């Protein structure tokens, strides 16, 4: 009996290894094109899709090498299909970890591309979503690998993560981190019936990311570049007060002209929150889940009423 169980376990292990090596599709991964990232741009009503593919022919002793396959089309689906067709083997998306949307995506476009991946690509569950910067792409072959690597580094450095499923969490809005050639990242608030809002900087983009629950890290300059902050942040709500808790905060002046850094940072965060909340009110959206907080605290139907930000240094 013990021998039979051992044989059964060995057979199961062999089958599992075989499925992993074949990508669950019968064809070995060594014969397939392993796609690690998909980057989209849009220009003059045409889309461009760039597949960032693991180069399995590169020196295995080096870090993972990547190659590029890119194509244009009238729609994201067509551009993606043409890019796949340019590959020498079948595309495998089981290890896909990055999706980049066009820089000026609206809510409908972001959801459309997200649905395209869910239905046709069926990517790995831990895929991260970004929006590209507005600067045009001159050459995918030259810029694609660097963009992919920079986005992965940004995700790690700032602890920012937007999953593919988060595009569909709310029925009329989405929130997505955006790539910028400058330090840090931008942050896009997309409303179903409103123009997208692109926030920047520590007190804009990173505050919005914390409010949306996509990061707990804040690191960057404030006070028009005169001071720098590194802190861990989380949010609670009490009444009409949105409480931003900052822990292990490090504040450093970069010039001799600035004093009282805590008050300076607090003032900027409060002003930025007021602006961000005003934009969500105009678009009729709730990307910061403030109404959800109110419903949990005070019962169904309760809504946020002119909330204010309170910064708490702990």
Q: Following DSSP, what letter does each residue of 269-312 receive, concatenated?
A: HHHHHHHHHHHHHHHT--TT-HHHHHHHHH-TT----S-EEEEE
- Residue 194's pLDDT is 92
- Rounded Cα distance, 125 and 97, in Å: 8
pLDDT, residue 27, reads: 65
Residue 116: the pLDDT is 95
Q: What is the pLDDT of residue 120?
A: 83
Contacts of 203 (CB under 8 A, 6+ apart): 222, 265, 268, 269, 271, 272
User: How many Cβ atoms are within 10 Å of 255's Cβ, its own excluded?
Assistant: 10
What's the confidence (pLDDT) of residue 21? 44
pLDDT score recorded for residue 15: 40
- Global pTM reads 0.87
pLDDT given for residue 65 in this prediction: 87
Burial-class residue 135 by CB neighbours within 10 Å (0-12, 13-18, 19+). Answer: exposed
Query: What pLDDT is stored for residue 58 in this prediction?
Result: 60
Q: Rounded distance, CA 187 to CA 131, Å?
A: 9
The pLDDT value recorded for residue 301 is 82
211 contacts 235 by C-beta, under 8 angstroms: yes
Report d(CA 64, CA 120) in Å as an integer.
26
Q: Reduce the DSSP state of residue 224 to 3 states and report it.
A: coil
Closest among 132, 150, 136, 146 to 198, alpha carbons compared:
132
Q: Give the pLDDT confidence score for residue 13 in this predicted structure.
A: 46
Buried b (16+ CB within 10 A) or exposed e, 138-161: eebeebbbebbeebbebbeebebb
CB contact set of 104 (below 8 Å; sequence gap of 6+): 42, 134, 196
What dihedral do alpha carbons 188, 190, 195, 197 form, nearest 10°? -20
- Provide the residue-wise pLDDT of the chain in tens; the chain has 314 residues: 454 544 445 445 444 444 444 445 556 666 789 999 999 999 988 999 999 999 876 655 455 689 999 999 999 999 999 999 999 999 999 999 999 999 999 999 999 999 999 888 888 778 999 999 999 999 999 999 999 999 999 999 999 999 999 999 899 999 999 999 888 999 999 999 899 999 999 999 999 999 999 999 999 999 999 999 999 999 999 989 999 999 999 999 999 999 999 999 999 999 999 999 999 999 999 999 998 888 888 888 888 889 999 999 99
* Amino acid 292: pLDDT: 87
Sign (positive or negative) of CA dihedral 145, 147, 150, 151: negative
């Amino acid at each position: 009996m013990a021998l039979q169980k051992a044989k059964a376990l060995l057979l199961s292990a062999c089958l599992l290894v075989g499925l992993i090596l074949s990508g669950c599709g019968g064809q070995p991964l060594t014969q397939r094109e392993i796609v690690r990232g998909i980057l989209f741009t849009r220009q003059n009503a045409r889309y461009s899709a760039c597949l960032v593919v693991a180069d399995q022919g590169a020196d295995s002793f080096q870090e993972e090498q990547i190659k590029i396959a890119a194509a244009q089309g009238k729609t994201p689906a067509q551009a993606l299909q043409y890019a796949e067709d340019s590959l020498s083997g079948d595309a495998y998306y089981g290890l896909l970890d990055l999706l980049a949307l066009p820089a000026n995506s609206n809510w409908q476009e972001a959801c459309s591309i997200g649905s395209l991946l869910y239905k046709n690509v069926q990517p790995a569950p831990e895929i991260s979503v970004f929006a590209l910067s507005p600067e045009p792409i001159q050459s995918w072959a030259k810029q694609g690998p660097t963009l992919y690597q920079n986005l992965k580094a940004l995700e790690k450095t700032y602890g920012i993560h937007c999953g593919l499923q988060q595009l569909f969490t709310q029925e009329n809005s989405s929130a997505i981190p955006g790539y910028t050639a400058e330090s840090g990242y931008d942050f896009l608030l997309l409303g179903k019936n409103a123009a997208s809002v692109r926030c920047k900087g520590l007190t804009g983009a990173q505050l919005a990311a914390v409010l949306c629950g996509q990061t707990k890290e804040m690191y960057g300059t404030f006070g028009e570049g005169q001071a720098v902050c590194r802190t861990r942040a989380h949010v609670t709500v009490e009444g009409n007060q949105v409480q931003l808790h900052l822990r292990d905060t490090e504040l450093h002046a970069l010039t001799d002209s600035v004093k009282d850094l805590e008050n300076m940072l607090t003032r900027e965060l409060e002003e930025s929150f007021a602006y961000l909340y005003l934009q969500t009110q105009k678009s009729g959206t709730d990307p910061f889940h403030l109404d959800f907080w109110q419903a949990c605290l005070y019962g169904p139907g309760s809504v946020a009423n002119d909330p204010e930000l309170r910064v708490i240094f702990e």
